Amino acid sequence: MEQPTDGNITIDGQEITDLNQKELRLSRQEIGMIFQHFNLLWSRTVRDNISLPLEIAGVPRVERLERVEELIKLVGLSGREDAYPSELSGGQKQRVGIARALANNPKVLLCDEATSALDPETTDSILKLLIDINKELGLTIILITHEMHVIRKICHRVAVMENGRVVEQGDVLDVFLHPKQQVTKKFVEQVMGDKEQDDAYEFLTTSYTTGKNIRLHFIGETTNQALISRVAKEFDVEINILQGKITQTQKGAYGTLVVNIDGENNELARAIEFIKSTSVEVEVAPNA
Amino acid sequence: MEQPTDGNITIDGQEITDLNQKELRLSRQEIGMIFQHFNLLWSRTVRDNISLPLEIAGVPRVERLERVEELIKLVGLSGREDAYPSELSGGQKQRVGIARALANNPKVLLCDEATSALDPETTDSILKLLIDINKELGLTIILITHEMHVIRKICHRVAVMENGRVVEQGDVLDVFLHPKQQVTKKFVEQVMGDKEQDDAYEFLTTSYTTGKNIRLHFIGETTNQALISRVAKEFDVEINILQGKITQTQKGAYGTLVVNIDGENNELARAIEFIKSTSVEVEVAPNA
Amino acid sequence: GTSEEDNTNGESETAPAENESAENETAELTEIVVGATSIPHAEVLEEAKPLLEAEGISLVIEQYQDYILPNEDLANETLDANYFQHIPYLESQKADFGYDFVNLGGIHVEPMGVYSKNIASMDDIPEGTEVIISRSVPDHGRILALFESQGLITLAEGVDKASATIEDIVENPLNLTFSPDVDAAVLPEVYEREEDALVAINTNYAIEAGLSPLDDSLFVEGADSPYVNVIAVRAADEDSEALNKLVEVLQSEEIQTFITETYNGEVVPVGGSN
Amino acid sequence: MLNELFPNVKIADLWEATGETFYMTLIALTGTFVLGILLGLLLYLTSKGGLWQSKSLNLSVATVVNVFRAIPFIILILLLFPFTDFLVGTIRGPNAALPALIIGSAPFYGRLVEIGLREVDKGVIEAAKSMGAKTRTIIFKVLLPESMPALVSGITVTAIALIGYTAVAGVIGAGGLGDFAYYYGFQRRAFDVVFVCTVLIVIIVFIFQFIGDFITNKLDKR
Amino acid sequence: MLNELFPNVKIADLWEATGETFYMTLIALTGTFVLGILLGLLLYLTSKGGLWQSKSLNLSVATVVNVFRAIPFIILILLLFPFTDFLVGTIRGPNAALPALIIGSAPFYGRLVEIGLREVDKGVIEAAKSMGAKTRTIIFKVLLPESMPALVSGITVTAIALIGYTAVAGVIGAGGLGDFAYYYGFQRRAFDVVFVCTVLIVIIVFIFQFIGDFITNKLDKR
Ligand SMILES: Nc1ncnc2c1ncn2[C@@H]1O[C@H](COP(=O)(O)OP(=O)(O)OP(=O)(O)O)[C@@H](O)[C@H]1O
Ligand SMILES: Nc1ncnc2c1ncn2[C@@H]1O[C@H](COP(=O)(O)OP(=O)(O)OP(=O)(O)O)[C@@H](O)[C@H]1O
Ligand SMILES: [Mg+2]
Ligand SMILES: [Mg+2]
């Protein structure tokens, strides 16, 4: 929300960077913001916190109270209207934050690390609320986060930033499965397989010396194919799953398995050839 | 380090709870403590921070300086002796903490969430240092942590506490693979498979309606058996890996896979029967 | 007695006091506002209140704790008269600040005394004795004059005794050191503790500390002292009937007796001497 | 019995002196509160990263504050004579003490206000900005309410200093307990009066402290 | 030229008054530092969860501190006459002002010390305890060094109050710039003296402030 040195910001066809002070203030009311640390006023009750943006926008009292009541119901805080933030759990605080951000019927909801301070269960409930809001109110939600599982769970499109620049963007599944930049790869590791496994992978490739250790990348629908059992049936090889992780997303399943395929050399080569012909991506350990 | 209301503490055959104030102080010098937030004196340099416990124990100056030099080398902080804590990274701070804890040649090293404030890479380097110390100096290390992967990586034995009581204890792998208490199960989920997967599991059991969805628990050495390929070869069933995670530990590999086995009913039953006869544990989804 | 000072130190006593005087003219009581320091001036004025009332004059007493403001307030017409200063001080103030005041009449003398715990008589004053005096500059000349009158020092020729300073001492056979350090009010405490020193104490503070200027002092100003406390008024009011009546009452037999009796002769009335 | 223990103490006088102390302290406190918050806001808003960031303005306000903090109160009274005379119409009495009392304590309080404002969560201000709030709105709806406990506990500390100042203001006839203790108690060697006045002052300070703490706790919903 | 602008200002007298102010402030400051740290430590150590936790001791120290904070300085000087006489052997002059100056400012500084000590990281104290440190060791090796920046910046604030007090201590002949301004400046209507003294006091305060800030920044390795 600072004066940018460069670049421009366009929301709903309006060039934000061209606005003067007053217009900028007004245009801000069309963006609802949610913060990692909630940024609630401890001196105001839940009701009054939600009321604040309405007061700022100059909404008359009666209308304001009505709207606040509505919002409290929307975010599921009925009964806690008169509580102070200090009396709320983290999840409840973020619900107040969301209600407050929605107060002026914004076009965009900007969530800056909105769930990073919450425990996993609370994160889930907040994400669920965001999905509901997205569907019901039809507003755009921009999520800023470093938690990849949050993106996996609720986002449609993703952009990866590094040093203040967007270095990669696109459909969530595309970016997750084919990360191009180093940053993206590191991030995607969080959900797709982690460094621990890489460590172990090294270890595996040294202790399993017979056969070939290969890494299989399952992308989207391909996990439906009973690949391993088909290979086992069709080729005279033994397949041993060493380690890996397979996960489901909204657009299908993906993941990585490290397997050891052992058998007669020829047969082995044919089996790997076959796997390569499927949509599963294969990586063969160099030293095996 | 407070007066306990109940129970007793024995270190190296000595009853701590029976000691008077002075003896207690002296006995504390036989326990080195490392803290989550390092608890270094910001007003002292690295050298002087490490020197503090020696000053407290009344070690003469010359000897003290020698010992500090030794410790700085041990934890790999040579060249940073005169830096203040604020000039160090988290990992370096914890190294100072470790050096300080070791200063009086303690019998026990007590680490209270020693790595919880560090990023994964730094955590690894600190854990490596702890393993080295454990091997070289032969002292007992007690790690208090809620991060299961830390325990998995460097511990031999584990005790789980709830409400101030030990509710479960034993060999790390035993406890991890067969958690008995609810708390333990929740903790072990962190490394063995997480809640997300359970959510997805439900989803799977509803969308895969043909065949049977089963959950396979691989424990220790059994992952070596090429179970899936054997089943595929010996029985006329198709095995489709839906999701799961397999990991390696110091005592072997373990993990969980959810698979869908499809085929003629009789054959299906026989295949499951066969799997059950191995050391792999099987759980059949109720609604499949 | 301080209980009757109700109308002093009030929130806004000065302004209404003036308004009242305007209103009261119709009630046939003429109000005059007189500034005074507490003892004995304010007490003497209190005593005179009923007598003045009988003369158709209502007396309002303003209490002061310093020697600067009563003159300033007289000049700016907050006061109609003040009763706190002696003639030399009045003269020096007139000279310094160009006040157009006149002395309407002397009422009493508070003789300045010199006291000491360990020195029993004037003949026993050892060489080099310290003389502790008030740091209030207007007192210095008076004290030095007193010492000169006792033959202990000599002041430079032609110096106005009232405004003489320590630097004006030309002869000092006993090598007395004059220390003008402390607040006049603290002098009795100093007397109690600095046993080998001479302490010059203003009579009002001496009385309040339970010292008798006549019995406890080594030497004290006589009744012929030039330091007569006077009623000072603006020159324009020199002929004011009410103010002259005030002086008349204060110099009356009744008040003079009151002064003598109340202060055991430590405050000496100077009835009509001006 | 009270008369035996404290023969020189006259309840009516004491009562009046107590009233004067309260009067001066409360009025001066009100003035200090307003002026101090103004100064504190100025210091805060013009500081680096503030809403009205201005190095020169910040420096000048800070200098004024520091100079007035530095001048001993007794000298401040003297220096303010012309100003007091112009404002109050007299340089004597409790009302004449007020300008000096306020100007003497507002800079100190201003610093406390600045410290209090600094403790307001930056995130909350950011949130208000993101809602399109004007600076005025941020001041009145965010900064002041969120720092109120600090502002109140600061004014309590200032009140104690102010009560000390009222005693010094005796030189211009401001009255009050401190002055009463010095002039009627000490000068007349009525040490019972000194004692009783001191006790009363201590009680008044404790009352201010108690009220301040109570309000602070009441306001603080953190 | 200086003589024309300030005809009544005598450099030698001013110089002496400045010396007295420095003398009193520095000695009193040293005393206040020691006594204040003692009081602050007592308050801190006896408070809830402290090393010497004791409700009654804490309450009594807090009461003493509050009472002495509450007594106006001018009254404190009077009340301390017997004590000062016993200690210094006189109730006149700069030395006689010292007990009152120290006792008047130590309680205030003690509170600042307490606040500073509270800010010492609990974890560091726990660490020292886990090393088997005695309370004395914890005080001297942990509490005081770790709170030193706060202690120094606190003494700077106290110094400013102390300089104000020295002006009041004029009643017992303590001298100094404040007193000089009042008696030689104001009483003789030599307003140039008042002005020059005020400027000198402001400069002295700024010097203290500057030194305090410098040391605080130097010490603070956080
Ligand atoms: N385009 C820009 N113009 C001017 N200043 C900028 C710009 N981008 C960033 N900054 C400056 O960089 C600093 C960091 O910005 P900001 O906190 O918004 O980064 P961020 O991406 O949100 O970081 P994080 O990922 O930690 O939340 C700020 O001080 C801001 O002033
Ligand atoms: N045996 C005991 N005797 C007396 N007090 C105890 C005992 N156990 C715990 N407490 C009290 O319980 C509180 C919490 O203790 P502590 O911080 O040591 O718990 P913890 O297990 O380390 O918590 P965490 O897992 O969050 O680190 C402390 O205030 C301590 O006084
Ligand atoms: Mg950010
Ligand atoms: Mg703990």
Cα B145 to middle of ligand 2, angstroms: 14
Establish if B191 touches chain A: CB-CB under 8 angstroms.
no
State the CATH number of the domain containing residue B82. Answer: 3.40.50.300
Segment of A111-120, B62-71, B162-171, B175-184 carrying the highest mean pLDDT = B62-71
**Cβ(A2) to ligand 1 under 6 A?**
yes
Nearest residue on chain E to C93, alpha-carbon basis: E188
Between B226 and A108, the more confident residue is A108
- Number of helices (H), then strands (E), belonging to chain D: the values are 11, 0
Q: In Å, how far from its chain's centre is CA E77? A: 15
Distance from CA of B189 to the nearest CA of A (A): 13
Tokens of D102: 């306020």
Final residue in a domain of this structure, among A126, A145, A164: A145
For residue C47, the SS3 value is: helix
Say if the Cβ atoms of E78 and D186 lie within 8 Å: yes
Q: What is the pLDDT of residues C66-99, one digit of tens each?
A: 788 889 889 988 899 999 998 888 888 888 888 9
Q: Rounded distance, CA C64 to CA C8, Å?
A: 9
- Is there a cis peptide before residue C213, judged by omega within 30 degrees of 0? no
Amino acid at C181: D
Whether B38 and B134 share a structural domain: yes
pTM across the whole model: 0.78
Which residue has the least CA distance to atom 11 on ligand 2? B2
Distance linking the first and last C-alpha atoms of chain B: 54
Report the nearest-CA residue for atom 19 of ligand 1.
A164
- Cα→Cα distances E26→C249, E30, E68, Å: 56, 6, 21
pLDDT at residue C222, rounded to an integer: 72
Give the end of a domain, one of B145, B162, B181.
Answer: B145
**So what's the pLDDT on residue A196?**
47
Whether residue A101 sits in one domain with residue A30: yes
Pick B200's closest partner by Cβ from A195, A241, A248: A248
Residue B199 neighbours by CB under 8 Å, 6+ apart: none
Decide whether any atom of ligand 1 lies within 6 Å of the A164 Cβ: yes
H-run or E-run covering B10: strand B10-11
CA atoms of C152 and C173, how far apart (whole Å) = 7
Q: Which two tokens stand for residue D45?
A: 């808003």
Ligand found nearest the CA of A161: 1
* Measured distance CA(D209)–CA(D163) in Å, rounded: 12
Taking only the tens place, the pLDDT of each residue in C11-70 is 333 444 444 444 444 456 788 999 998 778 888 999 999 999 988 899 999 888 778 888
Helix then strand count (H, E) for chain B reads 11, 11
Residue D28: CATH number of its domain: 1.10.3720.10
pLDDT tens-digit profile of C215-259?
888 888 876 677 888 999 999 999 988 899 999 899 888 888 888
Give the pairing type, strands A237-249 and A212-218: unpaired
Q: Are residues B33 and B133 in the same domain?
A: yes
* Chain D meets chain B (3+ C-beta pairs below 8 A): no
Phi, psi (5° rounding) for residue C119?
Answer: -90, 115
Q: What's the length of chain E?
A: 222
Q: Between the CA of residue D60 and those of C158, D47, D99, D111, what are the distances in Å?
A: 54, 11, 21, 14
Region for D177 from its dihedrals, namely left if φ exceeds 0, alpha if ψ lies in -120 to 50, beta otherwise:
alpha
Whole-number pLDDT of residue A4:
59
Q: Is residue A48 over pLDDT 60?
A: yes
Q: B132 and B25 share a domain?
A: yes
* Distance (Å) from the alpha carbon of C162 to chain E's nearest alpha carbon: 15
Residue B45 domain-assigned (yes or no): yes
Residue A244, exposed/middle/buried by CB under 10 A (0-12, 13-18, 19+)?
Answer: buried
In a domain? residue A207? yes
Distance between CA C198 and CA C118 in Å, rounded? 9
Instruction: Compute the Cα dihedral for C59, C63, C68, C72 and give only its sign.
Output: negative
Chain A residue numbers with beta carbons less than 8 Å from the beta carbon of D128 are 52, 56
Neighbours of chain B (3+ CB pairs under 8 A): A, E
**Of the candidates A247, A191, A253, which has an alpha carbon nearest to the alpha carbon of residue A222?**
A253
Residues B219/B279, Cβ–Cβ less than 8 Å: yes
The number of distinct structural domains making up chain B is 2
Range scoring the smallest mean pLDDT among A242-256, C9-23, E185-199: C9-23
Q: Specify the 3-state DSSP secondary structure of C33.
A: strand
- Ligand 1, residue A161: give the atom nearest the CA: 21
From the CB of B17, is ligand 2 less than 6 Å away?
no
Amino acid at E117: L
Model pLDDT for residues E100-134, shown as the tens digit of each residue = 999 999 999 999 999 999 999 999 999 999 999 99
Q: Is the CB of B1 under 6 A from ligand 2?
A: no
Mean pLDDT is lowest, of A7-16, C181-190, D108-117, E155-164, for: A7-16
The residue whose C-alpha atom lies closest to atom 30 belonging to ligand 1 is A2
What single string gives the DSSP state of each residue in C154-186? Answer: EEPTT--GGG--GGGEEE-TT--EEEEEE-GGG
CATH at residue B265: 3.30.70.260
Run of H or E including D44? helix D11-46
Per-residue pLDDT tens over the stretch D16-33: 899 999 999 999 999 999
Instruction: Output the DSSP codes for B207-268.
Output: H--SSEEEEEEE-GGGGGS-HHHHHHHHSSEEEEEEEEEEEEETTEEEEEEEEEEEE-HHHH
The residue whose two tokens read 């001993």 is D72
The first and second tokens of residue A85, run together, are 């933030």
C73 with C233: CB under 8 angstroms?
A: no
- Indicate contact of D with C: 3+ CB pairs under 8 A: yes
Q: Indicate whether B161 belongs to any domain.
A: no
Contacts 24+ apart (CB under 8 A), A12-16: A12/A107
Centroid of ligand 1 to alpha carbon of A86 (angstroms): 29
Facing residue for D124 by CB, picked from A25, A39, A57: A39
User: Are E97 and E172 in contact, with CB atoms under 8 Å apart?
Assistant: yes
Q: Looking at the CA of A17, which ligand is closest? A: 1
Residue B270: give the domain boundaries: 194-284
Asked if B83 has any chain E CB less than 8 Å from its own CB, the reply is no
CB–CB of C183 and E81 under 8 A?
no
Structural domain ending residue among the three candidates A115, A145, A175: A145
Instruction: Return phi, psi of residue A160, to 5°.
Output: -105, 130
Give the span between the Cα atoms of C218 and B184, in whole angstroms: 97
Q: Which residues of C touch E93 (CB under 8 A)?
A: 181
Do residues A141 and A198 share a domain?
no
Instruction: Give CA–CA dist D72/D70, Å, rounded.
Output: 6
- Residue E119, classed as helix, strand or coil, is coil
Of B224-233, C44-53, C181-190, C244-253, the range with the lowest mean pLDDT is: B224-233
Token pair in block for residue C228? 């007569």
Q: Which atom of ligand 2 is nearest to the CA of B6?
A: 1
- Residue B150 lies inside a defined structural domain of this protein: no
Q: Determine the pLDDT at residue A207.
A: 59
Domain count, chain D: 1
Q: Residue D182 in contact with residue D170, Cβ under 8 Å? A: yes
Where would I find the H helices in E119-190? Answer: 122-130, 135-137, 144-168, 177-180
Chain A residues touching B237 at Cβ < 8 A:
229
E near D: at least 3 beta-carbon pairs less than 8 Å apart: yes
Separation of CA B163 and ligand 4 centre (Å): 12
Structural domain of D136: 2-219
**B138 and B47 in a common domain:** yes
For helices D144-168 and D94-118, what crossing angle results, to 10°? 150
- Give CA separation, B65 vs B54, B69, B71, D173, E127, in Å: 9, 6, 10, 67, 21
Same domain, A25 and A124: yes
pLDDT band at E214 (very low <50, low <70, confident <90, very high): very high
Question: Any idea what DSSP says for residue C219?
Answer: E
pLDDT of residue C154: 92
